[in-house]
A and B are shown apart, each in its own frame.
Chain A
Amino acid sequence: MPTLNVINLAGEQSSIQAEVGQTLMEALRDNDFDEIEAAYGGGRACAACHVYIYHSWLEKVGARGIEEEMVVSCVDSFQENSRLSCQLALTEQHYGLVLSIANQD
């Protein structure tokens, strides 16, 4: 199971277990990161699962999709390393991924 390193809004880091095939949003939700609203349930319409991927991991995570780009670039908290966690399906490649949770609004 991939281990992910997550930094929450308070700046606290923790390691969580995720399953291959889950989306990153599902893994965060299952691990009780209540900062992740996941309001649209993975429909890439709301940016309520917005995270920042640490730059050293951006290559492995890959570029944003066109729709994802459109949505996440609209929010006030958008950065170059922004991703919608609902759009990232976890694979073995993501063992050790480091990310922080963005403000969901």
Chain B
Amino acid sequence: MARTEEYALGEYTFPRGWFMIADATEVNQTPQAIRYFAQDMVIYRGESGRVVVIDAYCPHMGAHFAKNTSSYVVLDGEQVQGDSIRCPFHGWKFSPEGNCEEVPYSPVSNPPNACVKSWPVVERAGCVFLWHDPEGEQPDYDVPVLPEWDDANWVQWKIDHLGEIDCHPIELVDNIADKAHLTPIHGSSEAQYFENVFDGHIVIQDFAAGHRTLASEVLTNYTWYTGPGILMSRMGGDYESIIQICHTPVEDGQVRVWHALLVKSADASNPDKGIAYAREYQEVSRLALMQDYEIWANKNPCFQLLKVIGDGPFGQVRRWYKQFYDPREEALKIQEKCNGRIVTKGTVRDPWPEKKS
């Protein structure tokens, strides 16, 4: 696995930002072990419905909060009470904020140093997002909103789990600049235009072209990263749709990937038909992503690409991406340098200049 250090991305091994960590439909009152950013964590849903993520190990003696099936705390169904969690080893109870609320056998009810780290989490559109921050501060931007999720004209997605891949996330993020792979990998034909806009923690790709499987005419894609790990794409074509692709570091040089597609195909007179169409459309979209995935899964790491004219702005994307590996102060400087719009030529709208003889 190629590590962050080898890409010279910055001070931190793992980037700052919001990251998807779970399919919300799979989070329940049974605490589950999860691992991201090379750290063991536990996720559960409190009785109020709130999703809680804490470090995996009890500060008392290091027992794992979730990897237990035989403790009587677990067998008696006493592990999640309210939104709090009880350690299977000695029954210590911790609030969702990670403070010890009760030591069942001791007159010392809440030892002040007995804290477990609780991670900021947000549940949105069937996904759980976690704020990872090497500086340990509060989020400085929001998870992208998705009003269509609750709109009756749209069919809600079912998330595709694409598993882990031994590939540094920067290689996935490169894709936002990669005009030249669109024809060989995805079957795009004659690009109408291709441009990127860099705006603080957001990078946008605005692109239109024909496509073999997703549209009968020109397909427009307006795609953007909100931070380093959440990609959304508004697609025109036969039905309006919104792709979400999330990737989250598990280890240094390894990411977990999810895909989902929201489709404006709801049909009040025939709900099953609208849903069936959305599921088919999502499958076509997933297969398009798998065309990238196969490359990522088998490629050598690219520390320095052999760039030619006609490639998109990989350099600028990588400069933009570095902001998440440095302290906020440095990130602001990087943003100032990167902000702006870059057009990649070689399209119908922006052809190559005519050769001077």
What residues make up the interface of A, taking CB atoms closer than 8 Å to B?
Answer: 9-10, 35, 37, 39-40, 45-48, 66, 69-71, 73-78, 103-105
Q: Is the interface of A mostly helix, strand, loop or mixed?
A: loop
Contact B336 A10 (CB under 8 A): yes
What residues make up the interface of B, taking CB atoms closer than 8 Å to A?
Answer: 177, 304-316, 333, 336-337, 340, 342-346, 350, 352-353, 355-356
Known: A39-B307, A40-B306. A105 touches B345 (CB 8 A): no
Cβ distance A103 to chain B, nearest Cβ, rounded Å: 7
Q: Please, how many angstroms separate the alpha-carbon atoms of A30 and B185 in the complex? A: 38
Contact sample, A vs B, 7 pairs, CB 8 Å cutoff: A9-B337, A37-B307, A46-B306, A73-B353, A75-B345, A76-B343, A105-B315
Q: Please, how many angstroms separate the alpha-carbon atoms of A47 and B310 in the complex? A: 10
Contact B305 A39 (CB under 8 A): yes
Please name all residues of chain A whose beta carbon is closer than 8 Å to the beta carbon of B308 when the two chains form the complex. 40, 45-46
Please name all residues of chain B whose beta carbon is closer than 8 Å to the beta carbon of A37 when the two chains form the complex. 307, 315
Cβ distance A13 to chain B, nearest Cβ, rounded Å: 16
Known: A39-B306, A46-B311, A105-B312. A76 touches B342 (CB 8 A): yes
Contact A75 B309 (CB under 8 A): yes
Q: Please, how many angstroms separate the alpha-carbon atoms of A66 and B355 in the complex? A: 9
Q: Which of B316, B337, B350 contacts A10 (CB 8 A)?
A: B337
Q: Please, how many angstroms separate the alpha-carbon atoms of A48 and B305 in the complex? A: 11
Please name all residues of chain A whose beta carbon is closer than 8 Å to the beta carbon of B350 when the two chains form the complex. 76
Please name all residues of chain A whose beta carbon is closer than 8 Å to the beta carbon of B337 when the two chains form the complex. 9-10, 35
Q: Which of B306, B309, B316, B353 contacts A103 (CB 8 A)?
A: B316
Please name all residues of chain B whose beta carbon is closer than 8 Å to the beta carbon of A71 when the two chains form the complex. 309
Chain A minimum-CB-distance residue to B311: A46
Contact A105 B309 (CB under 8 A): no
Q: A10-B337, A45-B308 are in contact. List 15 more A-B contacts (CB 8 A).
A: A10-B333, A10-B336, A39-B315, A46-B306, A71-B309, A73-B353, A74-B352, A76-B344, A76-B350, A103-B316, A104-B315, A105-B312, A105-B313, A105-B315, A105-B316
Q: Please, how many angstroms separate the alpha-carbon atoms of A37 and B316 in the complex? A: 10
Cβ distance A33 to chain B, nearest Cβ, rounded Å: 12
Please name all residues of chain A whose beta carbon is closer than 8 Å to the beta carbon of B304 when the two chains form the complex. 39
Q: Please, how many angstroms separate the alpha-carbon atoms of A75 and B350 in the complex? A: 10
Please name all residues of chain A whose beta carbon is closer than 8 Å to the beta carbon of B343 when the two chains form the complex. 76
Q: Please, how many angstroms separate the alpha-carbon atoms of A76 and B314 in the complex? A: 14
Contact A45 B309 (CB under 8 A): yes
Q: Please, how many angstroms separate the alpha-carbon atoms of A70 and B352 in the complex? A: 9
Please name all residues of chain B whose beta carbon is closer than 8 Å to the beta carbon of A105 when the two chains form the complex. 177, 312-316, 342
Cβ distance A94 to chain B, nearest Cβ, rounded Å: 26
Q: Please, how many angstroms separate the alpha-carbon atoms of A103 and B313 in the complex? A: 10
Cβ distance B329 to chain A, nearest Cβ, rounded Å: 15
